[in-house]
Amino acid sequence: MARVDVHSAKGSFRTPIVLASGPAGFGCDLARALDFRRIGALTTKTITHEPREGNPQPRIVDAPCGALNSIGLENPGVARFRSEVMPKIRALPTARIVSIAGRSADEVGKVAGALEGEPGVDWLELNLSCPNVRGETVADRPDAVSEYVRAVRAASSRPLLAKLSAGGGLVALADAALRAGADGLTLVNAVRGLRIDVETGKALLARATGGLCGPAILPIALAAVYEARRAFPEAFLVGTGGVVTARDAVEMLCAGANLVGVGFGVMADPAAVFGLAEGLERWLDARGVADVAEVVGAAHRGGWRVP
Ligand X SMILES: Cc1cc2nc3c(=O)[nH]c(=O)nc-3n(C[C@H](O)[C@H](O)[C@H](O)COP(=O)(O)O)c2cc1C
Q: Name the residues that contact ligand X, by CB under 6 A.
A: 20-23, 45-46, 67, 69, 71, 73, 99, 127, 130, 163, 189-190, 213-214, 217, 240-243, 262-265
Nearer to ligand X, 99 or 137 (CB): 99
Among candidate residues 28, 65, 130, 213, the one labeled active-site is 130
| Beta-carbon contacts of residue 255 (< 8 Å; ≥ 6 apart) | 222, 223, 225, 226, 229, 239, 297, 299
Q: Positive or negative CA dihedral for 165, 186, 212, 209?
A: negative
Residue whose C-alpha is closest to residue 42's, from 31, 52, 33, 53: 31
Smallest gap from Cβ 189 to ligand X, in A, equals 5
In the complex, minimum distance from the CB of residue 72 to ligand X, in angstroms, rounded to a whole number: 9
Based on CB atoms, which residue is closest to ligand X, 193 or 289?
Answer: 193
Cα separation, 115 vs 15, in Å, equals 25
**Could you tell me the smallest distance in angstroms from the CB atom of residue 185 to ligand X?**
12
Shortest gap between Cβ of 288 and ligand X (angstroms)? 29
* Amino acid at residue number 224: A
Residue whose CB is less far from ligand X, 22 or 76: 22
DSSP assignment letter at 164: E
Comparing CB distances to ligand X, the nearer of 81 and 289 is 81
Which CB, 2 or 101, lies closer to ligand X? 101
Q: Which amino acid is at 66?
A: G
Largest Cα–Cα separation, the chain = 59
Distance CA 59, CA 71 (A): 6
Task: Give the residue nearest to ligand X (CB).
Answer: 22
Q: Judge whether 130 counts as a catalytic residue.
A: yes
Instruction: Report the relative pairing of strands 191-193 and 17-19 from DSSP bridges.
Output: unpaired
Strand 66-69, strand 60-63: pairing: antiparallel
**Measured from the CB of residue 294, what is the shortest distance to ligand X in angstroms?**
24
Please state the φ and ψ torsions of residue 236, each to the nearest 5 degrees.
-90, 120
Query: Of 74, 72, 64, 71, which Cα lies nearest the Cα of 214?
Result: 64
Q: Kindly list the catalytic residues.
A: 130
